[in-house]
Chains A and B, each alone.
Chain A
Amino acid sequence: MKKIRYYDRNQEVLMPVEKRTKTFEEYSLGYTINLAIDEAKRCILCKDADKRCMKGCPINVDIPGFISKIAEGNILEAYKIITQTDIFPSICGRVCPQERQCEGACILYFDTVRNKRNKGLPVNIGALEKFVGDFVRISGIEPSVEVEDKKGYKVAIVGSGPASLGCAYELARRGIDVEVYEALPKLGGVMFYGIPNARLDKSILEYEINKLKKMGVKFHTGIVIGRSVSLKELKESFDAVFIGVGAGRGNLGIKGDNLINVYSAIEFLMNIALGCPMADIKKVAIIGGGFTAVDCAISAIRFGMETHVVYRRTRETSSARDEEWDHIQEEGAIIHWLTQPKEIIGDENGYAKGLLCVKMELGEPDESGRPRPVEVPNSEFVIDCDAVVLAIGQKPNPIAFEELNLKTTKWGTLEVDQHYMCSVDGIFASGDVVNGGDTVVRALKEGKEAAKHIYDYLINKFRRS
Chain B
Amino acid sequence: MAEVLEVIDISKSLKLITLKSLYLSKAKPGQFFIMQYQEKPERIPVFIMDADIERNAVSFLLQKSDDMVVTEAFENIKPGQKLHYVEGPAGKPFPQLEYKNILFVSINWGFAGIYNVAKHLKPKNKIDLAFINSDAVHLEDLRSYTGIFDSVYEFDSVEAFSKIDKPYDVVVSAGSNELAKELVSVYEDKNVLCAVITRMLCTVGLCLACRIQYDGKLKLPCVEGPWLEANKIDFDDLNRRHLILKEVLVRSRKS
Residue ranges of A at the interface with B (Cβ–Cβ < 8 Å): 183-185, 221-224, 226-229, 248-250, 252, 258, 260, 263-264, 266-267, 270-271, 274-280, 349-351, 397, 399
Contacts and interface: CB of A to CB of B under 8 A. Distances in A.
B252 A277 contact: yes
Contacts of A276: 41, 43, 201
Contacts of A223: 23, 87
Contacts of A267: 201-202, 207-209
A413 to B, nearest CB: 16
Interface stretch (B55-63, B95-103, B176-184, B237-245): B237-245
Given A184-B202, A227-B91, A266 B85 contact: no
Which of B26, B89, B205, B252: most chain A CB closer than 10 A?
B205
Contacts of A279: 245, 248, 252
B209 A397 contact: no
A279 B253 CA distance: 11
Interface in B226-252: 237, 240-241, 244-245, 248-249, 251-252
B5 interface: no
B244 A260 contact: yes
A263 B245 CA distance: 12
Contacts of A277: 248-249, 252-253
A229 to B, nearest CB: 7
Contacts of A280: 248, 251-252
11 contacts: A184-B204, A222-B86, A222-B88, A227-B91, A250-B207, A252-B218, A260-B241, A264-B209, A274-B41, A276-B201, A277-B253
B208 A260 contact: no
B203 A266 contact: no
B196 to A, nearest CB: 15
Contact of B213 (A248, A250, A258, A274): A258
Interface in B95-123: none
A260 B88 CA distance: 28
A397 B26 CA distance: 23
A185 B209 CA distance: 17
B143 interface: no
Contact of A264 (B43, B87, B207): B207
B208 A228 contact: no
Interface of B: 23, 26, 31, 34, 36, 39-41, 43, 85-92, 201-209, 211, 213, 218, 223, 237, 240-241, 244-245, 248-249, 251-253
A351 B85 CA distance: 33
A349 B23 CA distance: 42
Contact of B240 (A228, A260, A263, A271): A260
A437 to B, nearest CB: 13
B204 to A, nearest CB: 4
A397 B87 contact: no
A432 to B, nearest CB: 12
Contacts of A397: 204-206
A221 B85 contact: yes
A228 B23 contact: yes
A351 B253 CA distance: 21
A407 B251 CA distance: 46
Contact of A249 (B86, B90, B205): B205
Which of A183, A224, A252, A349: most chain B CB closer than 10 A?
A224
Contacts of B88: 222, 224, 227-228
Nearest to B218: A252
Nearest to B42: A276
A281 B69 CA distance: 22
A276 B251 CA distance: 13
Given A252-B218, A274-B43, A183 B252 contact: no
